[in-house]
Structure 1
Amino acid sequence: METTIQLFNEVSLSYDADGNANIADSRTVFAEVCSIGSNEFYKAAVNGLKASKMFRVFFADYHNENMVLFNHEVQAVYRTYYDEKSDKYELYCNEV
């Protein structure tokens, strides 16, 4: 599924009194949303993480941001992988 996501760094994130996320500095990019495979899910669990989504973004769109906003949910990037064949980064995320 192709959609847009917002990429940002954790220092840009704050929360208001109601617990809503406020992001000071982010960039909107196109991404392909993918589910997490069982192997990745269990590898993340071993490290105390709950893998939730994987996003594929073009190489030129990713600048080492460590947070993603998707459907009003904040996700933390815990691992990246660069696929040379497609020239895309895979961003493996867990919900914050």
Structure 2
Amino acid sequence: MEAIIKVFNEKDIDHDSEGDSNTLYYRKVFAEICSVGSNEFYKAAVNGLKASRVFKVFYADYKEEDMVQFGGKCYAVYRTYYDEKTDLYELYCNEVSI
């Protein structure tokens, strides 16, 4: 599945007086949305993480952001992989609440 996602850094999240979060700065980028393979799921679990999604974004679109927003949910990037053959970054993420 392909979609537009928001990428940003955790430091760009602000909370108002009621505790609601607002992202001060984000960029919209095109991504391929992938499911997490069983091997990656178990590797993440060993490190205390629950792998939720993999987002593939073009090299030029990724500026080392550590958060992704997609489908009304927020994800923290816990690992990246750059595939030179496709010129894509794979962002391995776990779902978080902000």
TM-score range (shorter-chain normalised) is over 0.9
Task: Provide the aligned C-alpha RMSD in A.
Answer: 1.1
Matched, 1:25 2:28: no
Q: After TM superposition, where is structure 1 displaced by more than 3 Å over at least 4 residues in a row?
A: none
Q: What's the TM-score once normalised by structure 2's chain length? A: 0.92
**Residue in 1 aligned with 2:39?**
39
Unmatched 5+ stretches in structure 2:
none
SS state at 2:92 partner:
strand
Shift of 1:20: 4.5
Corresponding position: 1:69 with 2:69: yes
CA distance in 1, matches of 2:22, 2:81: 28
Equivalent AA in structure 2 for residue 42 of structure 1: Y
Shift of 1:27: 0.2
**How far apart are the structure 1 equivalents of 2:94 and 2:63?**
19
Residues 37-88 of structure 1 deviation map (CA, whole Å, 9 limit, x = unaligned)? 0000000000000000000000000000000000111100000000001000
Query: Superposed, which structure 2 residues align to 1:1-96 within 5 Å?
Result: 1-16=1-16, 17=18, 20-96=20-96
Quick one: percent identity of the two aligned structures?
Answer: 64
Give the TM-score taking structure 1 as reference length. 0.94
Q: Shift of the alpha carbon at 1:15?
A: 3.9
The 1-side partners of 2:7 and 2:90 are apart by 13
Gaps (5+ residues) in structure 1?
Answer: none
